[in-house]
Structure 1
Amino acid sequence: MQADQELEDLIPDSAIGNADAWATDTDAARTGAPPANVLDEIERDSDMPDIPGMTIAWPDGSEIPDIQPLSPDPDIEIAEQSTDAAVKALPGQEEADTPANLRLADADVERVGKQVEVAFPRSTEGKTADKEEIVSRFAGLSALKTLDDDEDNLAQIVRRARTDRDLLIEVMRTYGYYDAQVYQSLGGLEDRADGEARGPIDVEKVVVRFDVQPGPQYKFGKFDFGNLAATGADEPALRGAFKLNAGDAINSDKIVTERVNLQNALGETGYAFAKVGEPDLLIDHQRREGDLTVPVTPGGVYNFGQITSSREKLLSARHLQRIARFDPGDRYKRSEVDDLRQAILATGLVSSVTVEAREAAPPAGQAPGTVDIDVAITQAPLRTIAGLIGYSSGEGFRVEASWEHRNFFPPEGMLRVRGVAGTTEQLAGVTFRRNNFITRDLILNADLYARNQQSNAFQARTASFITSLERQTTLLFQKPWVYSAGLEAVATSERDAAAIRANLPRKTYFIGAIPLRLAYDGSNSLLDPTTGFRVGLRLSPELSVQDGARSTYTKAQLDASYYQPVTDSVVMAGRVRLGTIVGTEIQNIAPSRRLYAGGGGSVRGYGFQQIGPRDTLGEPSGGRALTEFSLEARVKTGLLGGAVSVVPFVDAGAVDTSTTPKFDDLKIGVGIGLRYQTNFGPIRVDLGTPLNPSKGDSRIGVYVSLGQAF
């Protein structure tokens, strides 16, 4: 082959027989190496002779640049310093040649997250006022505390540690420690002997510690309030609204708060156009004090004038004056202007509103000026179609639908048409409501409806008209006291359970009533209370006519509930209801006007109206005395962002034919519920079971609705 021939030409057969002779049979071998003395005479810097076949010129005269050493990585430097370097101890502390040599020897250490610590001197001289607030604020802003899992490398930790050190210094200054020093160090790194190579760093074990030497806390020195003295006799009270004085410890947060307090005090004293500028704090390190300048331009004192409206047909100026809590000529108060803005929003007729004071007449000498209040309104959609679907094992399904126009009869004259289609109830009705009738917060109601009810206790076909005046609470303005007084006229054709079984004809009742209600709400929320209490009383004197026979009686009902937080995630809630009907025998009272218990808003675990006296066929017949108790724990689970709560509960109730409650046949139901919090209140799903059921009672009750059970 060709390759074998080429190899044969390169290494002849004679080379195989005598390899040494073949290797030395060359010109270079026959010439030999020059003597050693000749080699010594060759200058090392002499030019190199040309090499045959070399075509690249030798780089004569070129200088090779010096290699610059790499600057040390600051992140590695800090890590080395935290474990290896012997550093001078902090003032007042002993020197220590240990991994903790940057740290206070005697300190109170606060943990901030899993990888951050803040240490303060324990000694009395170094004690830090406001330490808890400082640590809390630092924890809320710390960059290290929010370190993500994908950022778990030493370089990232060190960079964030530097940011946090600057943050902690700023926080210390916020509380008056302008000479504070903060030292940062790393812990949790593996120690090593001299010369021993460092192993890999487990960053999850690294702890960043900040040791704080607070220094003295600076105090307020002089105060300058600009033109506040121009307020004359009002100056002492206005200066008193700014509750910081010379000698108080400097606190930047309090400066901001007191500036707002001073602005509010000026606005509440009639200074409609007063301005309070940005405070300026000048620190004097020699005196260890800060001089504070608060530029105040009070302007003059004003009284209220007229209210103007940009939408007279929607909300007239006359109606806005009715809503306002001030009259023309009253001393100007900014809080009453803000209250008017909130009250206009509460009407539901506007999507946005601007309320501004406008000078109508300037102050003249000692006489105050006049400001008119201009109200600019943007109309909101006035019509609403709403629907509601509910279910409970006692009442079955229930579907409600309504259409309303909130300004059908201006101003604030609402018309609503509604209907109910359900297993046990069908209804059609129309409602008129005039908000802010005659005066603020007074509501005129008129309601006309026809209803058909079919429950285990009775059947009723009813036509009713109710009119009332009331003071009602709202989600925007939750009021402590509410009341109502009205007139009710009812025509109803009914038969109780015994008449239904015997297929007896209905009895017709004509009823006139004066329903009265007074209630106090000391809770913190209408739909989801967590603290406080509620108590309410209902009275309804009634006249009933049936087949020419007249009966008079009074219905009374007392409701009370209490809410107490046990922990941040648990609220205990309790409820009691007592009711009675006095003045006549039970057979003279229409079945729909009697008292019943059982169901989702009463005793869960039992069917709707299934608790109480029963007829000979075992059907509920209602009573004249009612007692109900409920106790539940509302436990936040943290699921779905804290929107889900679990609610174990126990309910109890009894109904009796006498006028006073008796507990001989107290029914008890227990169960558990779920609450899902929405922006309009919690959605409630409860499952209950009776502990001492009567014959025919279901073993499980299911209840679905909006809002808490009570």
Structure 2
Amino acid sequence: MEKSASPFLFSIRKKAAGRSLALLLCAGILTAAATVRAEVDYTPVITGDAKKDVVKELKLNSYLFQFQKNKPLSRDGLARRAADDVTRLRDTMIGQGYYGADIRYKIEGAAEPYTVTLDIKTGPAFTLSSYDVMWLNKAGRKAEAPEGINTRRILRKIKGQTATPAVILEREREMLEALKRSGYPLPEVAERKVLVDHAAQSAAVTLSLKSGQKAVFGAADVTGYDAVREDFIRRRVGWQEGDVFNLDKVVDTRKKMLGTGLFSTVDITLEAKDGARRVPATIAVSERKPRTIGAGVSYSTSRSIEGKVFWEHRNLWGGAEKIRAEADAGLDRYGIGAAFTKPDFGGTIKRTLKANTGYRQEFLDAYDKTSYNAATSISHAFTDALSVNAGGGLEFSQVKEKGQNERDFWLLSLPLGVNYDTTTDTLDPVRGIRAAVNMTPYLTINQSQETFVIGDISASHYLPMNEEKIVFANRVKLGAIFGEGAAGVPADKRLYSGGGGSVRGYGYQLISPLDANDDPTGGRFQVEVGSEVRFRVTDTIGIVPFVEGGRVTEDFDVKGDERFLWAAGIGMRYYTAVGPLRADIAVPINGRDKDDAFQVYFSLGQAF
């Protein structure tokens, strides 16, 4: 019995011992796992002589800063993260032009949180000592510079600039774009060499380029259109078959087509092939729905809330003929109107015919008015920036000034204008110039056939800085009436300033000579100026301080009784896909007793 029992007892003991060992091993593993899972807390610090903008860029590229919340699991892991940062941040410093930067790290502290110090000695920023371009043929041998490529112009003033990769690549991009504008659709960079001389603290660049085969435009196929006529589309194609290839013409073509408002998408596919002498193109368009119903609202202290609704059809007969009906109303005015626009008038993209008619009622401090008008005009664009317009109009109005009898006027007008505009955004210009000269002769045909001429000159300038995060905007306007004294000109045609589209801080039309009741009477000479600085705080928020001023007088006496009235204010912008929503508050600086303490404005688009 003992022999038979012994193996059994041994087996039991052996299994029990195995379970004890397993439990001990599990406990050890759990203890080790708990130890491994311990996270190391730390505080990263950058010291040295790096400038604030460089430090900001370093922090954006540092894992120690960007992943501080994802703590390493040990001090050794923290050291590895810091060592990786040294390598990574050396590339960042090269990106800023500091090729000789010295970066070291140290971990300090007997207990958590440890302090991890990245000590950075930037050294001097290296500059470009030369930037040479070598032209290669298809076989890779040296070749002459392609015809029409002015390398010297592109590389002007490059010597001495900070040798950042951004500067080097920007000149490379300009070189490739110049080739694409000059007939070479498929240029390529064969080699880019950057030789860094640490002793001279400079870098020399050698760029090897292949221009590829010079080519001309081939046939252009148009697809996707239905309600829009093909001839209308083709008039906006900026090249003819056989023209030397120019990528700018492709970009301009797409821009012009989208600018018609008829298409939701315009895709231009270029079928450029290596060695081919012709570049066919396929223009694929997707049409928008031609009808739109919309509404808008604005507010100002002096005019309260105003609203408008409109309906438009943008493609009546396949050539972007547009008709628009609109109604607007506020506490002091209301009206309805219709306008017709015919682009490509006379078969050319440069000419546009416009016609409009409308009815209005106004109840203002200066006058009450009922009017009916009809007008037509033709505009002709000489360039993308320069255009002229001329037209004619007929207006019947009943105008009543305070304390006077109502007067009826039949007016024939002949408006003439010249416009120059290099800006790219109507509601939010950030660079360029706008200038206009307008002259409108009037003839009264129901009385003594008196004539007068209203003219104005206006200009605005927009200067961007800091990658368009700051825009300096300035404007000036001069207006004058010739041929009649102020009393001989209908009150609604006289000149007034003040309000959201004029001089903020003063009520609508209140910069004007005043009568005994402090109501504006209008004048014959007008001056307005304005400046503002548009700060883009975030992608959607902007702050705009501004100062504006104006003066209106009954005659051309510069030293007359009417003061030049100034106002200052600040505004907020909320940037949307349509345009910036504007909220401004302005106060008079040297206002009169009649002027309110402040004015508030809400609208869409910049003030000018």
TM-score range, shorter chain: 0.7 to 0.9
- The answer to whether the Cα contact below 8 Å between 1:402 and 1:419 also exists between their aligned partners in 2 is yes
- The answer to whether the Cα contact below 8 Å between 1:464 and 1:488 also exists between their aligned partners in 2 is yes
Are 2:452 and 1:553 equivalent residues in the alignment? yes
**How far has the Cα of 1:577 moved from its partner?**
2.4
**How far has the Cα of 1:227 moved from its partner?**
0.4
Query: What is the rounded CA distance, in whole Å, between the counterparts of 2:81 and 2:168 in structure 1?
Result: 30
For the residue of structure 2 that corresponds to 1:206, the secondary structure is strand
Which residue number corresponds to residue 374 of structure 2?
465
Query: What is the rounded CA distance, in whole Å, between the counterparts of 1:424 and 1:249 in structure 2?
Result: 60
Query: What is the rounded CA distance, in whole Å, between the counterparts of 1:657 and 1:221 in structure 2?
Result: 65
Which residue number corresponds to residue 434 of structure 1?
342
Which residue number corresponds to residue 15 of structure 1?
none
Query: What is the rounded CA distance, in whole Å, between the counterparts of 2:47 and 2:441 in structure 1?
Result: 69
Which residue number corresponds to residue 451 of structure 1?
360
- The answer to whether the Cα contact below 8 Å between 1:218 and 1:249 also exists between their aligned partners in 2 is no
Query: What is the rounded CA distance, in whole Å, between the counterparts of 2:607 and 2:194 in structure 1?
Result: 57
Mapping for residues 173-184 of structure 1, pairs under 5 Å: 184=104
Query: What is the rounded CA distance, in whole Å, between the counterparts of 1:372 and 1:573 in structure 2?
Result: 43
**How far has the Cα of 1:700 moved from its partner?**
3.5
Which residue of the other structure, out of 191, 208, 217, is the alignment partner of 1:304?
Answer: 217
Mapping for residues 456-495 of structure 1, pairs under 5 Å: 456-470=365-379, 480-495=385-400
**How far has the Cα of 1:393 moved from its partner?**
2.5
Query: What is the rounded CA distance, in whole Å, between the counterparts of 2:316 and 2:141 in structure 1?
Result: 51
Query: What is the rounded CA distance, in whole Å, between the counterparts of 1:375 and 1:341 in structure 2?
Result: 9
Which residue number corresponds to residue 188 of structure 2?
276
Query: What is the rounded CA distance, in whole Å, between the counterparts of 1:432 and 1:165 in structure 2?
Result: 66
**How far has the Cα of 1:562 moved from its partner?**
4.5
Relative distance call for 1:522 and 1:152 in structure 2 (3 A) is farther
Q: Residue type of the partner of 2:313?
A: H
For the residue of structure 1 that corresponds to 2:450, the secondary structure is strand
CA RMSD between the two structures? 5.2
For the residue of structure 2 that corresponds to 1:672, the secondary structure is strand
Q: Residue type of the partner of 2:318?
A: P
Q: Residue type of the partner of 1:489?
A: L
Are 2:64 and 1:166 equivalent residues in the alignment? no
Which residue of the other structure, out of 373, 379, 394, is the alignment partner of 2:287?
Answer: 379
Q: Residue type of the partner of 2:554?
A: T
Query: What is the rounded CA distance, in whole Å, between the counterparts of 1:694 and 1:254 in structure 2?
Result: 55
1:235-270, CA deviations, whole angstroms, 9 ceiling, x for partnerless residues?
47669599799xx99986677556544543443332
Which residue of the other structure, out of 356, 359, 367, is the alignment partner of 2:269?
Answer: 356
Which residue of the other structure, out of 113, 117, 125, is the alignment partner of 1:202?
Answer: 113
Mapping for residues 548-697 of structure 1, pairs under 5 Å: 548-563=447-462, 573-634=473-534, 638=537, 641=538, 643-666=540-563, 668-679=565-576, 680-690=578-588, 694=592, 696-697=594-595
Task: Using the TM superposition, name which of 426-435 and 311-320 deviates more.
Answer: 311-320
**How far has the Cα of 1:555 moved from its partner?**
0.7
- The answer to whether the Cα contact below 8 Å between 2:137 and 2:212 also exists between their aligned partners in 1 is no
Query: What is the rounded CA distance, in whole Å, between the counterparts of 2:175 and 2:139 in structure 1?
Result: 10
Mark the runs of 5 or more structure 1 residues left unpaired by the alignment: 1-49, 60-66, 80-112, 121-130, 191-197, 364-368
**How far has the Cα of 1:622 moved from its partner?**
1.6
- The answer to whether the Cα contact below 8 Å between 1:255 and 1:279 also exists between their aligned partners in 2 is no
Which residue of the other structure, out of 329, 337, 340, is the alignment partner of 1:421?
Answer: 329
- The answer to whether the Cα contact below 8 Å between 2:93 and 2:101 also exists between their aligned partners in 1 is no
1:629-675, CA deviations, whole angstroms, 9 ceiling, x for partnerless residues?
33445456x4xx46444444444333222245555222635353332
Relative distance call for 1:350 and 1:509 in structure 2 (3 A) is same
Relative distance call for 1:255 and 1:342 in structure 2 (3 A) is same
Are 2:301 and 1:393 equivalent residues in the alignment? yes
**How far has the Cα of 1:515 moved from its partner?**
1.6
Mapping for residues 13-52 of structure 1, pairs under 5 Å: none
Query: What is the rounded CA distance, in whole Å, between the counterparts of 1:690 and 1:631 in structure 2?
Result: 15
**How far has the Cα of 1:171 moved from its partner?**
5.5
Query: What is the rounded CA distance, in whole Å, between the counterparts of 1:699 and 1:467 in structure 2?
Result: 42
**How far has the Cα of 1:538 moved from its partner?**
1.8
- The answer to whether the Cα contact below 8 Å between 1:419 and 1:429 also exists between their aligned partners in 2 is yes
**How far has the Cα of 1:329 moved from its partner?**
3.5
Which residue number corresponds to residue 64 of structure 2?
144
Which residue number corresponds to residue 62 of structure 1?
none
For the residue of structure 1 that corresponds to 2:250, the secondary structure is helix
Q: Residue type of the partner of 2:82?
A: A
Task: Using the TM superposition, name which of 510-519 and 570-579 deviates more.
Answer: 570-579
**How far has the Cα of 1:184 moved from its partner?**
3.5
Mark the runs of 5 or more structure 2 residues left unpaired by the alignment: 1-5, 18-27, 198-202
Relative distance call for 1:370 and 1:691 in structure 2 (3 A) is closer
Q: Residue type of the partner of 1:115?
A: V
- The answer to whether the Cα contact below 8 Å between 2:551 and 2:565 also exists between their aligned partners in 1 is no
**How far has the Cα of 1:595 moved from its partner?**
1.0
Task: Using the TM superposition, name which of 344-353 and 661-670 deviates more.
Answer: 661-670
Which residue number corresponds to residue 267 of structure 1?
180
1:300-337, CA deviations, whole angstroms, 9 ceiling, x for partnerless residues?
x4333543321454444432332233334422222212
1:514-565, CA deviations, whole angstroms, 9 ceiling, x for partnerless residues?
222224446675434456654332211221223x311111111122345567
- The answer to whether the Cα contact below 8 Å between 2:511 and 2:565 also exists between their aligned partners in 1 is no
Which residue number corresponds to residue 22 of structure 2?
none
Relative distance call for 1:585 and 1:336 in structure 2 (3 A) is same
1:33-84, CA deviations, whole angstroms, 9 ceiling, x for partnerless residues?
xxxxxxxxxxxxxxxxx9xx9995799xxxxxxx9xx9xx99x9x99xxxxx
**How far has the Cα of 1:458 moved from its partner?**
1.3
1:455-510, CA deviations, whole angstroms, 9 ceiling, x for partnerless residues?
1211222111222233689xxx9x644443222221222222223xxxx3x32212
Which residue number corresponds to residue 515 of structure 1?
415
Task: Using the TM superposition, name which of 131-140 and 423-432 deviates more.
Answer: 131-140
Q: Residue type of the partner of 1:656?
A: T
Q: Residue type of the partner of 1:452?
A: Q
Query: What is the rounded CA distance, in whole Å, between the counterparts of 1:470 and 1:601 in structure 2?
Result: 24
Which residue number corresponds to residue 136 of structure 2?
225
- The answer to whether the Cα contact below 8 Å between 1:222 and 1:290 also exists between their aligned partners in 2 is no
Query: What is the rounded CA distance, in whole Å, between the counterparts of 1:291 and 1:520 in structure 2?
Result: 41
For the residue of structure 2 that corresponds to 1:708, the secondary structure is coil
1:199-251, CA deviations, whole angstroms, 9 ceiling, x for partnerless residues?
x2433x4312367899x999999968350779987647669599799xx9998
**How far has the Cα of 1:140 moved from its partner?**
4.7
Relative distance call for 1:387 and 1:234 in structure 2 (3 A) is same
1:583-618, CA deviations, whole angstroms, 9 ceiling, x for partnerless residues?
123233222111112222223333212232334544
For the residue of structure 1 that corresponds to 2:507, the secondary structure is coil
Query: What is the rounded CA distance, in whole Å, between the counterparts of 1:482 and 1:708 in structure 2?
Result: 23
The count of residues paired between Structure 1 and Structure 2 equals 574
- The answer to whether the Cα contact below 8 Å between 2:529 and 2:548 also exists between their aligned partners in 1 is yes
Q: Residue type of the partner of 1:444?
A: L
Query: What is the rounded CA distance, in whole Å, between the counterparts of 2:563 and 2:299 in structure 1?
Result: 25
Which residue number corresponds to residue 200 of structure 2?
none
Relative distance call for 1:279 and 1:172 in structure 2 (3 A) is farther
- The answer to whether the Cα contact below 8 Å between 1:268 and 1:332 also exists between their aligned partners in 2 is yes
TM-score, with structure 1 as normaliser: 0.66
Task: State the identity %.
Answer: 23
Query: What is the rounded CA distance, in whole Å, between the counterparts of 2:71 and 2:188 in structure 1?
Result: 45
